[in-house]
């Protein structure tokens, strides 16, 4: 197969998939092509969709590739299609997800210590939505569950991988200022 055909085929595969298509999956199917070749084809596709006057992009998300509409059209898409219910998420959920994303795996208590409020309800909702999952149990008395973020979390928040999160500002950096004299 020529590189040109490969490109068209990969595009068709991505178009029909309702999950981000990963390099691993593509490599498994296109055994004759190197990972490097597949990556370069995907890169070409991304550039082409970016340059083209189209309503959607090819986006690298959750360790894969997916076609997504451009953000500028969100309101009109929802206005046109009444069946689409806009995804809503509370501040509390966002805080729990942020803590879990950076400190995973961690227990409910560890999340609550940072937020200063009970988080069991929020955590259960996030488990139902599959934005969080249970990673195991912590080896401390009571063996509490350890929570972490999922692939669905990466997909929802448009993240390539968990490493794609911006670095947290470090508290340690500020500590010298803390030595107060009074």
Partner 1 sequence: MSNMEQLELPYLVKLQVFEGPLDLLLQLIKKNKVDIYDIPISKITEQYLEYLEVIKQCNLEVVGDYLALAAQLSLIKSRMLLPQIESEEEVEDPRAELVQLLLEYERYKDAAEDLENRDILGKEVFIRGLSYFDEFGDAAQETEIVKTDLWSLVDAFKEVCIRRQFELTEDLVFTVESFSIEEKTNELLEFFKTNEKYAFKNIFNKMNSKAEIVITFLTILELVKNELIGIKHENPEDEIELFYIGEEDLEQ
> 3-state class of 170 per DSSP?
coil
Report the C-alpha gap between 159 and 83 in whole angstroms.
26
Residue closer to partner 1, measured from CB, 4 or 116 = 116
Contacts of 17 (CB under 8 A, 6+ apart): 66
The CB-of-97 to partner 1 minimum distance in angstroms stands at: 6
Report the C-alpha gap between 99 and 122 in whole angstroms.
13
The CB-of-45 to partner 1 minimum distance in angstroms stands at: 16
- Binding site residues, partner 1, CB under 8 A: 15, 18-19, 27-28, 59, 66-71, 74, 77, 81, 83-89, 91-92, 94-95, 97-99, 101-102, 114-118, 129-130, 133-134, 155-159, 165-166, 168-169, 171, 174, 177-178, 180, 182
Residue closer to partner 1, measured from CB, 140 or 174 = 174
The CB-of-141 to partner 1 minimum distance in angstroms stands at: 22
Report the C-alpha gap between 142 and 179 in whole angstroms.
37
Residue closer to partner 1, measured from CB, 4 or 85 = 85
Residue closer to partner 1, measured from CB, 71 or 140 = 71
Residue closer to partner 1, measured from CB, 4 or 182 = 182
Asked if 16 and 9 count as a contact pair (C-beta separation under 8 A), the reply is no
The CB-of-27 to partner 1 minimum distance in angstroms stands at: 8
Peptide bond into 105 cis (omega under 30): yes
Report the C-alpha gap between 111 and 97 in whole angstroms.
9
Tell which residue, 52, 48, 28, has the closest CA to residue 38. Answer: 28
The CB-of-7 to partner 1 minimum distance in angstroms stands at: 20
The CB-of-36 to partner 1 minimum distance in angstroms stands at: 17
Residue closer to partner 1, measured from CB, 53 or 83 = 83
Helix and strand tally (H, E) in the chain?
Answer: 9, 5
């Amino acid at each position: 197969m020529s590189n040109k055909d490969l490109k068209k085929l990969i595009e068709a595969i991505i178009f029909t998939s309702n999950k981000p298509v990963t390099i691993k999956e593509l490599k498994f199917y296109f055994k004759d092509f190197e990972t490097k070749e597949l990556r370069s084809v995907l890169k070409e596709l991304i550039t082409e969709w970016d340059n083209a006057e189209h309503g959607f992009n090819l986006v690298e998300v959750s360790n894969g590739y997916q076609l997504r509409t451009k953000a500028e059209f969100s309101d009109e898409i929802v206005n046109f299609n009444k069946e689409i219910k806009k995804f809503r998420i509370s501040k509390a959920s966002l805080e729990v997800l942020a803590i879990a994303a950076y400190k995973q795996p961690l227990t409910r208590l560890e999340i609550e210590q940072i937020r200063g409020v009970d988080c069991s309800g929020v955590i259960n909702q996030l488990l139902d939505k599959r934005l969080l999952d249970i990673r195991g149990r912590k080896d401390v008395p009571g063996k509490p569950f350890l929570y972490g973020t999922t692939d669905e979390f990466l997909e929802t928040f448009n993240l390539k991988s968990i490493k794609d999160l911006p670095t947290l500002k470090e508290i340690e950096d500020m500590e010298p200022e803390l030595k107060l004299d009074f």
